[in-house]
């Protein structure tokens, strides 16, 4: 059997003495897209942050294996180099740092860490231009400071642009549909779908079924109170939408 | 009968008094004999206690016979040099620039020890008259060379009505415990537009003092940028005076300090007539036990109605031991004005650090990016590309610990 890209075993995590993740088990084989759906506050963003290595969270139990390798001891930058990419629910605004400058720094940092040479400026420009065209991102937007004053749609498109350029093996998308109108949702989904590949897996976190009409998952998981309570195929998302979460997690709506 | 206790004088004060007497500045010598150097009890020196910080004064500078490498070269700039207080002969000036000399110092007398000392010691002043707009950046390269020296120099710039210019002053020199006392006096005529950048790149062993006085005329626009990135002890005093309706000042400055450094920007601005405005914006970045001070005083005269002025100081602490101090002061005698002040101080934002590192950017590089981003607001308005690049180079050099 080939090693799955992501394997989470009995993951427990807490923040400020409060346990948020209470035994998450999840395996994503190479090439698959898994959706995680759950109420607000159920711990979905926490899961994404713990995967990416945010310091605020303390993992008290369990393991996260990326391509069979435990990543819990790695810093966020090392995890990125190992192939994890988190598309943030709320991308952070970085004043004074041009988006273009940031993209180049990120690409070259990852190349350097892998022992590859720096990208030449023409190669970099070409890559950005190509990836940007698919996402309706023009040169003007790239000159602006990273995420500063970007509309909700621009922020999400910029996240997908980064994902396209950094070519991760595991894409974690946290509520990528939030704050998007239907047109923007289509552009973003198209960008994500273009990145589906046999050697890449995706974890798509969402609150609404809507996104999953555009990014069709192989498996849907229902997340409740810090763990996965039900898994099924894409129809599970439709059932959830029809019946609400209460039928699945037993809590009052 | 009340007796004033004479203050106890230290070595630095004794030397200063002797030096003042040697140049015939008896009145200033007398002031120092009676009051000593300012301590924290003097309001404008509250955070920069010169009596404690300035332990000794080197001998008065002699003409320099060698020069260290230039601290900053800006491609295309027209350069003038003052070394150890002596004006050096310069290449042909660009059209519209008249270069000259005048005896003595230039600052208007005020109750300030650094101003008094400059007036006493500056033997000659470089004078620049800008008759019309000048394209190349004008760089005044002010040096303290050779053995440790007490250097005083002076510059006077007159910018004609409607003229525009970018004037850069750099302060540097040999690696010795120099004490530099520099003065700049600038007059902006009607509708003149001036960018004035002063950068301290002195060695860590030096003490750097500068006093810049500005007279901003009707409709004139002044932008300043003070950068402290060199001396162990640095203080730049800014005295802008808005004297004509529509006069505006973007007074900005940046303290970059590491362990053991003390940098102070003190602004005392005077809005003298109705309808003037200013936007003083200062930033401080401190590492180790570095100490950065910004004091900003806005004085609005009684008939200076419709003054619009806001002082801001933003600090970024890169260590727990760093100190960043802010002292805003408003002295408003008019009633129809919009004046304010604000200051913020914090560490690097953790969420921003996480965002950058989650993209594979190593921690130290992410930190550098965020600090550069924090400072960018001050460099961004500088339109001359070569100059902006040189300024980025200084910031990066500091960040990389040069
Ligand atoms: N910094 C924090 N400190 C304390 N509690 C937090 C913090 N961040 C999130 N939480 C709590 O963790 C729980 C899960 O939050 P989150 O992972 O954001 O859920 P979701 O993404 O599913 O809406 C919520 O109850 C939230 O209040
Ligand atoms: Mg969330």
Mean pLDDT of A107-115: 96
Cα gap A188→A185, rounded to integer Å: 5
Mean pLDDT of A211-216: 94
Q: Give the pLDDT score at B400.
A: 86
User: Do A91 and B355 lie within an 8 Å CB cutoff?
Assistant: yes
User: Do A96 and B373 lie within an 8 Å CB cutoff?
Assistant: yes
3-state SS class at B111: coil
3-state SS class at B296: strand
Centroid of chain to Cα A93? 18
Mean pLDDT of A127-137: 94
Domain containing B332 equals 72-348
Q: How confident is the model at residue A156 (pLDDT cuts 50, 70, 90)?
A: very high
Distance from residue A45's CA to the centre of ligand 2 (Å)? 4
- Per-residue pLDDT tens digits for B17-45: 999 999 999 999 999 999 999 999 999 99
Å between B84 CA and nearest CA of chain A: 38
Centroid of chain to Cα B47? 16
Residue B398 lies in a domain: no
**Greater confidence, A63 or B4?**
A63
Q: Does A59 touch chain B (CB under 8 A)?
A: no
Best CA proximity match to B84, nearest among B212, B174, B201, B200: B174
pLDDT at B379 over 90: yes
Q: Does A106 touch chain B (CB under 8 A)?
A: yes
Residue B401 lies in a domain: no
Residue B13 lies in a domain: no
- Domain residue extents for chain A: 6-96+168-252
Best CA proximity match to B56, nearest among B145, B172, B178, B152: B178
pLDDT at B214 over 70: yes
Lay out the sheet containing B323-332: strands in order across.
Answer: B97-103, B124-130, B150-159, B179-188, B207-216, B233-242, B262-271, B291-300, B323-332
Centroid of chain to Cα B242? 18
Pairing state between β A84-87 and A170-174: parallel
Instruction: Compute the Cα dihedral for A181, A183, A184, A189 and give only its sign.
Output: positive
Mean pLDDT of B217-238: 98
Centroid of chain to Cα B200? 8
Interface test with A, best of B283, B352, B360 (most A CBs within 10 A): B360
CB < 8 Å to B377, chain A: 95-96
User: What's the burial of A135, exposed, middle or buried (CB within 10 Å: 0-12/13-18/19+)?
Assistant: buried
Instruction: Determine the residue of chain A that is closest to B375 in CA distance.
Output: A96
User: What's the burial of B41, exposed, middle or buried (CB within 10 Å: 0-12/13-18/19+)?
Assistant: exposed
Cα gap B110→B183, rounded to integer Å: 13
Residue B366 lies in a domain: no
Q: Give the pLDDT score at B2.
A: 52
Interface test with B, best of A91, A93, A94, A168 (most B CBs within 10 A): A94
Q: Give the pLDDT score at A246.
A: 80
ipTM value > 0.95: yes
Can you tell me which residue has the tokens 């924290």?
B40
Mean pLDDT of B199-221: 98
User: Do B376 and A109 lie within an 8 Å CB cutoff?
Assistant: no
CB < 8 Å to A158, chain B: none
Residue B56 lies in a domain: no
Instruction: Determine the residue of chain A that is closest to B368 in CA distance.
Output: A97
User: Do B358 and A91 lie within an 8 Å CB cutoff?
Assistant: no
Cα gap B71→B91, rounded to integer Å: 19
Q: Give the pLDDT score at A253.
A: 40
Å between B368 CA and nearest CA of chain A: 11
Q: Does B355 touch chain A (CB under 8 A)?
A: yes
A175 in the Ramachandran plot: left (φ > 0), alpha (ψ -120 to 50) or beta? Answer: left
Q: Which ligand is closest to the CA of A16, given by its number?
A: 1
Task: Give the list of residues 6+ apart from residue B281 with CB closer than 8 angstroms, or none.
Answer: B250, B251, B252, B312, B314, B377, B378
Å between B375 CA and nearest CA of chain A: 7
Ligand 1 atom at minimal distance to the Cα of residue A38 = 22
Best CA proximity match to B20, nearest among B135, B108, B143, B150: B150
Cα gap A145→A131, rounded to integer Å: 19
CB < 8 Å to B356, chain A: 94, 102, 106
User: Do B363 and A145 lie within an 8 Å CB cutoff?
Assistant: no
Cα gap A155→A148, rounded to integer Å: 9
Mean pLDDT of B99-119: 96
CB < 8 Å to B375, chain A: 96
Distance from residue A134's CA to the centre of ligand 2 (Å)? 27
Q: Does B347 touch chain A (CB under 8 A)?
A: no
- Listing DSSP states for A59-82 in one string gives EEEEEEEETTEE-TTS-HHHHHHH
Ligand 1 lining (C-beta closer than 6 Å):
A 15-16, 18, 20, 38, 40-46, 56
Pairing state between β B86-87 and B78-83: antiparallel
In degrees and rounded to multiples of 5, residue B400 shows phi and psi of: -85, 5
User: Do A105 and B362 lie within an 8 Å CB cutoff?
Assistant: no
Share of chain A above pLDDT 70, in %: 98
Cα gap A36→B56, rounded to integer Å: 69
Task: Give the list of residues 6+ apart from residue A112 with CB closer than 8 angstroms, or none.
Answer: A118
Of B355, B363, B374, nearest to A88 by CB-CB distance is B355
User: Do A106 and B352 lie within an 8 Å CB cutoff?
Assistant: no
Task: Give the list of residues 6+ apart from residue B165 with CB closer than 8 angstroms, or none.
Answer: B130, B133, B134, B138, B159, B193, B194, B195
Q: Give the pLDDT score at B3.
A: 55
Instruction: Determine the residue of chain B that is closest to A101 in CA distance.
Output: B369
How many domains does chain B divide into?
Answer: 1
Cα gap B150→B23, rounded to integer Å: 13
What does the block give as tokens for B110? Answer: 């005020």
DSSP B130: E
Mean pLDDT of A59-64: 97
User: Do B361 and A96 lie within an 8 Å CB cutoff?
Assistant: no
Q: Does A145 touch chain B (CB under 8 A)?
A: yes
Q: Which CATH superfamily is domain A6-96+168-252 in?
A: P-loop containing nucleotide triphosphate hydrolases (3.40.50.300)
pLDDT at A129 over 70: yes
User: How many CB atoms sit inside 10 A of residue A11's CB?
Assistant: 23
pLDDT at A22 over 80: yes
**Greater confidence, A90 or A249?**
A90
Cα gap B48→B292, rounded to integer Å: 10
User: How many CB atoms sit inside 10 A of residue A19's CB?
Assistant: 16
Instruction: Give B263's strand partners.
Output: B234, B292
Q: Does B352 touch chain A (CB under 8 A)?
A: yes
pLDDT at B4 over 80: no
Ligand 2 ion local residues (Cβ < 5 A): A 44-45
- The 3-class SS string of A186-245 reads HHHHHHHHHCCCCCCEEEEEECCCCHHHHCCCCEEEEEECCEEEEEECCHHHHHHHHHCC
Distance from residue A205's CA to the centre of ligand 1 (Å)? 14
Contacts 24+ apart (CB under 8 A), A207-212: A207/A37, A207/A38, A207/A39, A207/A40, A207/A175, A207/A178, A208/A177, A208/A241, A209/A37, A209/A237, A209/A238, A209/A240, A209/A241, A210/A177, A210/A185, A211/A176, A211/A177, A211/A185, A212/A35, A212/A237
Cα gap B356→B348, rounded to integer Å: 12
Cα gap A180→B265, rounded to integer Å: 46
């Amino acid at each position: 059997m080939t090693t799955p890209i992501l394997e989470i075993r009995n993951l427990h995590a807490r923040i400020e003495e409060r346990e948020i993740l209470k035994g998450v088990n999840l395996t994503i084989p190479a090439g698959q897209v898994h959706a995680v759906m759950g109420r607000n506050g159920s711990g979905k963003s926490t899961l994404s942050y713990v995967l990416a290595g945010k310091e605020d969270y303390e993992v008290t139990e369990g393991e996260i294996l990326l391509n069979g390798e435990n990543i819990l001891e790695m810093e966020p930058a090392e995890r990125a180099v190992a192939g994890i990419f988190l598309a943030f629910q709320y991308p952070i605004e970085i004043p004074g740092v041009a988006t273009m400058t940031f993209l180049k720094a990120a690409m070259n940092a990852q190349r350097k860490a892998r022992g590859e040479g720096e990208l030449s400026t023409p190669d970099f420009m070409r890559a950005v231009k190509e990836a940007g065209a698919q996402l309706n991102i023009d040169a003007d937007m790239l000159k602006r400071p990273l995420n500063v004053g970007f509309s909700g749609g621009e922020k999400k498109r910029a996240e997908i642009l980064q994902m396209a350029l950094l070519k991760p093996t595991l894409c974690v998308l946290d509520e990528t549909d939030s704050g998007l109108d239907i047109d923007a949702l289509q552009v973003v989904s198209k960008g994500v779908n273009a990145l589906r590949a046999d050697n890449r897996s995706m974890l798509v976190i969402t609150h609404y079924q809507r996104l999953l009409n555009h990014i069709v998952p192989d498996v849907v998981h229902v997340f409740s109170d810090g763990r996965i309570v039900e898994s099924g195929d894409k129809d599970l998302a439709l059932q959830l939408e029809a019946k609400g979460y209460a039928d699945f997690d037993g809590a009052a709506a | 009968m009340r007796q004033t206790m004479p203050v106890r004088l230290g070595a630095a004060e004794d030397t200063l008094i002797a030096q003042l007497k040697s140049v015939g500045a008896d009145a200033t010598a007398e002031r120092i004999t009676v009051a000593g150097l300012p301590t924290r009890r003097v309001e404008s020196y509250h955070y920069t206690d010169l009596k404690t910080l300035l332990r000794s004064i080197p001998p008065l500078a002699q003409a320099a016979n060698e020069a260290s490498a230039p601290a900053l070269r800006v491609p295309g700039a027209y350069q003038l040099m003052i070394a150890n207080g002596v004006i050096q002969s310069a290449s042909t000036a660009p059209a519209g620039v008249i270069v000259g000399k005048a005896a003595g110092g230039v600052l208007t007398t005020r109750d300030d020890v650094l101003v008094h000392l400059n007036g006493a010691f500056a033997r000659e002043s470089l004078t620049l008259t800008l008759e019309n707009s000048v394209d190349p950046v004008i760089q005044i390269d002010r040096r303290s060379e050779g053995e440790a020296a007490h250097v005083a120099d002076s510059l006077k710039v007159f910018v004609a009505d409607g003229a525009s210019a970018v004037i850069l002053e750099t302060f540097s020199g040999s690696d010795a415990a120099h004490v530099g006392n520099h003065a700049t006096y600038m007059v902006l005529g009607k509708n003149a537009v001036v960018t004035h950048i002063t950068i301290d790149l002195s060695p860590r062993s030096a003490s750097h003092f500068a006093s810049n006085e500005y007279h901003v005329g009707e409709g004139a626009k002044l932008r300043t940028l003070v950068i402290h990135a060199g001396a162990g002890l640095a203080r730049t005093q800014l005295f802008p005076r808005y004297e004509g309706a529509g006069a505006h000042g973007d007074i900005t400055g940046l303290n970059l300090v590491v362990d053991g450094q003390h940098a102070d920007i003190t602004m005392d601005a005077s809005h003298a007539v109705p309808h003037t405005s200013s936007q003083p914006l200062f930033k401080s970045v401190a590492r180790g036990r570095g100490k950065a001070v910004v004091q900003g005083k806005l004085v609005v005269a009684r008939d200076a109605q419709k003054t619009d002025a806001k002082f801001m100081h933003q600090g970024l602490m890169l260590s727990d031991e760093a100190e960043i101090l802010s002292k805003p002061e408003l002295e408003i005698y008019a009633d129809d004005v919009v004046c304010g002040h604000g200051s913020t101080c914090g560490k690097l934002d953790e969420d921003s650090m996480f965002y950058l590192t989650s993209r594979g950017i190593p921690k130290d590089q992410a930190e550098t990016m965020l600090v550069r981003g924090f400072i960018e607001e001050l460099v961004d308005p500088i339109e001359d590309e070569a100059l902006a690049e040189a300024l980025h180079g200084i910031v990066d050099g500091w960040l990389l610990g040069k």
